[in-house]
Amino acid sequence: MVKLKSSKSIGFLVLLAGLVLLNMAAQYVYTRIDFTKEKRFTLTPKSKTILKEARKPITITVFLEGDLPSAFKRLKNATKDLLTDYKAYAGTDITIEFVDPISGLSAAEQDTVMNHLYQVGIEPTTLNIKNDNGFAQKTIFPMAMVEGNGNQLALKLLQNLDASGNYEENINNSIQNLEYVFTSAIQKVLSGQHPRIGFTEGNGELSDLLLNDAIKSLSDSYDVGRVNLNQIDKAGLDKLKLLIIAKPEKEFTEVEKYKINYFVMNGGRVVWSIDQVSASLDSLRGAGEQLAFNKKLNLDDMLFIYGARVNYDLIADANCAEIPLSMGGQQGQIQMAPWVFYPILMPDTANSLVKNIDGVRSEFVSTVDTIGVKGISKKVILQSSAYNKVHPTPKMLSLQMVAEQPDPREYASVQRTVGVLLEGKFQSVFLNRPIPTGITEQYGVTAESKPTKMIVIGDGDVFKNQISARDGSVFPLGFDRYTERNYGNKALLLNIADFLSNDDNLISLRNKEVKIRLLDKVRLRTEKLQWQLINVVFPLLLLISFAIFQHYYRKHKYAR
């Protein structure tokens, strides 16, 4: 008996010692198994590489703290989980802190702190929280600051809220974007580099107001400005990484084309977002009808040599956005009606550049063809739906077309290409051609470019934000103010910028999909009492039943 007890004691001590050693080892070796289908808790190889090679102190301050609504607690917890993983790979090189910057401060002190935070890019978000007395406003800071290598960068953890205030969907999108937000920021503060992006101007391109959100969104990670091709010199072009040509209206001169060609030959990247046809909904509303006519941009020869052609036509697509129209005269009721000339473009899901991007809102779109140019690879990134009809132009357009239901037989077609990615070594447009009059610098254009890439889109409005008719404020890029729906235009722009600025691997972070299993709100409302009873009453009944059973069992057992 003594030996048996001794053996049990030794076994217990061995088990206890093993648990202690295992716990000590866990302090130095971090691991966890990710059982989620979409691997939401697994960092991408890009993030792991950046964190392991950091070699410099990084400080991350998250301002999402305090008494938060439940939806924002999810965002905070997801941020904390992600940064815990970051620290596991970066070790002591990374310091993480969660703070509520205005907690416990007087109104005057809060104003002082908020002004200081605003100067460094930390902006508050005001929420309307429903309570017993109606609604109350609450100020939170869904932002973070990343500091390292003498640089700092403010980060938005929360994507733009739509007008419906749908926090759940927005928080879901924000959680999906967290790894991209933090990894790209760490990379930028450590490198100290912000690639330059230029939106062209001088040829009737979209104004600063219509590009406001595009420029603002890109400015979080890039140096962004306007570029006048007539004024910029060779040195200025050499500093640019990406040139975006957004909806020009006027013809390009040979001098401007020569500078674009020089930029491409030296490895510069270009986004061509152009309308080949002049058409406007405002003109249609004013006159009731409009002739959609072909523009003369003088870019066809350039695009042809590079490997693409934007055709002179318009796509009418059954999968389209809606526009507000007055039904029944000037005093009639405003109703939303589908407008087939505003297609919702579908990203090619097989291409990582546009994977997981929602439909892209467009206006008066033309088809894009690729040309067989040696050494240039072509990939489709945007398409129409399979239910479309292509109209050659010029063509008379009328608002009466809204009343015409698309004939399924006429619209049964194939998907039309609207956006393409071209990669390779491009031929010079000015090979064996004289230097245009007006070029005074020695550009030294070669016959073939360095390896580079460009994107051609047959619509000039994909990067245009809408403006509020009430106060002139700017809506987020991709937000439709009439239907209050968000489209994938902003995600498309940001993906393109990352891809064309040589951050291809960051695309995998932005495309990471995290599925949040939200409660069915309809069932939650209709079956609320049922589930409350199940969760509250059923456990009590179960406990009482067990007590009664035990009572009679013991009574029966010991009655003998």
Q: Once rounded to an integer, what is the mean pLDDT over residues 251-256?
A: 97
Write down the pLDDT at residue 347: 92
Q: Which residue has the tokens 């104004």?
A: 207
Q: 453-469: per-residue pLDDT in tens? A: 999 999 999 999 999 98
What residues pair up with 429 in beta bridges, in sequence order?
Answer: none
Q: 367-422: per-residue pLDDT in tens? A: 999 999 999 999 999 999 999 999 999 999 988 888 777 777 888 889 999 999 99
Q: 440-449: per-residue pLDDT in tens? A: 888 887 899 9
Write down the pLDDT at residue 164: 46
Q: 156-207: per-residue pLDDT in tens? A: 888 755 444 556 667 887 888 888 889 888 988 888 778 999 999 999 999 9
Write down the pLDDT at residue 40: 61
Which SS3 state, helix, strand or coil, does residue 248 take? Answer: coil
Q: Once rounded to an integer, what is the mean pLDDT over residues 198-223?
A: 94
Quick one: what percent of the chain has pLDDT higher than 70? 87
Q: Is the pLDDT of residue 521 over 60?
A: no
Q: Once rounded to an integer, what is the mean pLDDT over residues 5-21?
A: 71
Write down the pLDDT at residue 181: 86
With contact defined as beta carbons under 8 Å apart, do 190 and 54 qualify? yes
Distance CA 156, CA 175 (A): 11
Range of lowest pLDDT (139-153, 304-318, 361-375): 139-153
Range of lowest pLDDT (175-179, 228-232, 253-257): 175-179
Question: Over the Cα atoms of the chain, what is R_g?
Answer: 30
β-pairing verdict for 196-201 and 151-156:
unpaired
Inter-axis angle of helices 70-90 and 167-191, nearest 10? 30
77 HSE (CA, 13 A, CB side): 8
What residues pair up with 138 in beta bridges, in sequence order?
Answer: 127
User: Please, what is the Cα angle at 555 between 551 and 559, to 5 degrees?
Assistant: 175
Q: Is the pLDDT of residue 139 over 60?
A: yes
Distance CA 182, CA 4 (A): 58
Residue with the bigger pLDDT between 409 and 278: it is 278
Write down the pLDDT at residue 3: 53
Average pLDDT, the chain: 85
